[in-house]
Amino acid sequence: MTFEKHILCIGAGYVGGPTMAMIAFKCPQYKVTVVDINPERIAQWNSDTLPIYEPGLDEIVKARRGKNLFFSTEVEQRIQECEVIFVSVNTPTKTFGAGAGMAADLQYWDKTARQIRKCAQSNKIIVEKSTLPVKTAQAMKRILTCEDNGIRFDVLSNPEFLAEGTAIRDLEDPDRVLIGSTLTPNGIRARDVLVEIYANWVPRDRIVTSNIWSSELSKLVANAFLAQRISSINSISALCEKADADIEEVARAVGMDRRVGNRFLNASVGFGGSCFRKDILNLVYLCRYYDLKEVADYWEGVVRINDYQKERFILKMLDALFNTLADKKVCLFGFAFKADTGDTRESPAVFVASRLIEERATVVITDPKALKNAMKDLAGVAGDVSYVEDPYAASEGCSAIAVMTEWRIFSTLDYERIYRAMAKPAFIFDGRNILDHQRLFEIGFNVFPIGKPSLTHF
């Protein structure tokens, strides 16, 4: 079969895999290949057990794999045959040298750009899918074009806004697709190629084009705004606990103002995920680089409140359990950073588990999809930790349950049964406000929600 277009994606992770599966699903006329340097990951993409859990992903991968969707480790060969190359490699926070702990580590991007230059034998459109600091496209263009070999590289910015757990829905029906380009004739021609790809299923009025720096920056700012809403509501949750107000009532009243809106106002133990923290720190680093101290401090506050909220959660547990957790069994309901994913990157549960271990508690973790990742995350932590799939078995003999992830299953459990099997007095710390607190109190639990008065029998 001959295809209209050959599309490549370098990086087969949480973004590369699902986004390319969606393009292949919506555009059978294109051949879509996803490559990665990690052979194990590619083998999983080619197997019945995909490397990531995402509702709806299995179906679309199985529908297109082997037809117009391919996963491969042959990075160099594939670069040669594709005219549009998405780059979706990881851009974690730098852990060394200048900017350590703040700036984006661009080494994977840099290496990819050099590899593309080395292998390319014809003109290419390079699409920034990873989240990158503003002005990265300029650096990429310089790396790509430093050898005058007659090949033209057009660099576009096309940041991804999918959220894990709803990735397939987000990709199928996005609020917007953002495409940034240079405004030269070549830049606009490249931009139009990408617009045409998305226009196969995304309404034209939701495909937004902009200058390339606005596009790069919009991605960081979008994540910063979303995280800022969570930190705002979480900061007020602390005040609610002091003032006997109820954070859900406050959030409802505030969010009903259409200028504010009601989404992303759920108070929690803190936000997690691989991106919010890293992207805000990256934004803060950029502001400091440009000598915008006040702006940097403002956004850094979002991360500080998140750290405060996680620490507050632990201190509340310690206080409620009579100032010692040593040898007490604590069960974490959930380890994923949010429901409907197995991803545990930057999950508040990693922090809470580590702090519980520091306090010498015995930790039992239950999660429907994230136990494997939890084991990896805590592999280096010396302490008494166990992993149990069944929440009833996991909570048996525990003094406390801490809800870390808003998995639906946790709100449907038989808490009378759970209470009977726990050590007394029994405590529940609902880090997601998903349980029926009054009912739990009536069963006999001492209940500590976020941003609401606690319900205790003492």
Whether 275 is a known active-site residue: answer: yes
Q: What is the per-residue binding string for ligand UGA in 318-337, x denoting contact by CB under 6 A?
A: -------------------x
Binding of residue 271 to ligand UGA (CB under 6 A): yes
Cβ proximity to ligand UGA: between 153 and 448 the closer is 448
**309 near ligand UGA, judged by CB under 6 A:** no
Nearest distance from C-beta of residue 13 to ligand NAD, angstroms: 2
CB of 411 to ligand NAD, least distance (A): 25
Q: State the Cα–Cα distance between residues 361 and 326, nearest whole angstrom.
A: 5
* Structure-token pair, residue 101: 């702990």
With respect to ligand NAD, which residue has the nearer C-beta, 131 or 366? 131
Interacting partner of 34 out of ligand NAD, ligand UGA, none (Cβ under 5 to 8 A depending on kind): none
The residue from 37, 75, 139, 163 that contacts ligand UGA (CB under 6 A) is 163
CB-wise, 50 or 162, nearer to ligand NAD? Answer: 162
Contact flag: residue 342 with ligand UGA (CB under 6 A)? no
Interface residue with ligand UGA among 273, 334, 342, 449 (CB under 6 A) is 273
DSSP string, 422-458: S-SS-EEEETT--S-HHHHHHHT-EEE-SSS--B---
Please, which residue, 391 or 431, has the CB nearer to ligand UGA?
431
Nearest to 174 by CA among 160, 195, 156: 160
Using the minimum distance from each CB to ligand UGA, give the nearer residue, 154 or 248: 248
CA dihedral 9, 11, 12, 17 (to 10 degrees): -50
- 185: cis peptide before it, omega within 30°? no
Q: CA torsion, points 90, 91, 93, 95, in degrees to nearest 10?
A: 70
The smaller minimum CB distance to ligand NAD, of residues 13 and 431, is found at 13
Least gap, CB of 443 to ligand UGA (angstroms): 26
Residue among 117, 277, 312, 338 that touches ligand UGA (CB under 6 A): 338
The interface partner of residue 356, options being ligand UGA, ligand NAD, none and the CB cut-off 5 to 8 Å by kind, is none
Q: Report the partner that residue 386 touches, choosing among ligand UGA, ligand NAD, none (CB closer than 5 to 8 A by kind).
A: none
Catalytic residue among 82, 275, 331, 398: 275
The candidate with the shortest Cα–Cα distance to 219, out of 258, 189, 249, 177, is 177
**H-helix segments, 14-127:** 16-26, 39-45, 57-64, 75-81, 107-119
Q: How far is the CB of 25 from ligand NAD (least distance, A)?
A: 18
The 3-state secondary structure of 360-398 reads: CCEEEEECCCCHHHHHHHCCCCCCCEEECCCHHHHHCCC
- Pinpoint the alpha helices (H) of 176-275: 185-198, 212-243, 247-255
Q: Is the dihedral of CA 399, 402, 407, 413 positive or negative?
A: positive
Tell me which residue of 357, 362, 354, 359 sits closest to 330, measured CA to CA. Answer: 362
* Positive or negative torsion for Cα 12, 17, 19, 21: positive
Question: What's the min distance (Å) between Cβ of 20 and ligand NAD?
Answer: 11
Contact set with ligand NAD (CB under 6 A): 10-16, 35-38, 41, 75, 88-91, 108, 111-112, 130-131, 160, 162, 164, 274-275
* Residue whose CB is less far from ligand NAD, 10 or 434: 10
Residue of 68, 182, 223, 235 that binds ligand UGA (CB under 6 A): 223
- Contact residue for ligand UGA among 19, 91, 228, 266 (CB under 6 A): 266
Residues in contact with 417: Cβ distance below 8 Å, sequence separation at least 6, in sequence order: 392
**Sequence-separated (6 or more) residues with CB below 8 Å from residue 247:** 233, 236, 237, 240, 267, 433, 450, 451, 452
CA–CA gap between residue 296 and residue 291 (Å, rounded): 9
109 neighbors 87 (Cβ within 8 angstroms): yes
Tokens of 392: 């009833």
Q: Find the shortest distance in angstroms from Cβ 419 to ligand NAD.
A: 37
Q: How far is the CB of 351 from ligand UGA (least distance, A)?
A: 12
Out of ligand UGA, ligand NAD, none, what residue 111 binds, judged by CB under 5 to 8 A for its kind, is ligand NAD
In one-letter notation, the amino acid at residue 269 is V
> Which listed residue (36, 154, 164, 340) binds ligand UGA by CB under 6 A?
164
* Active-site residue list: 275
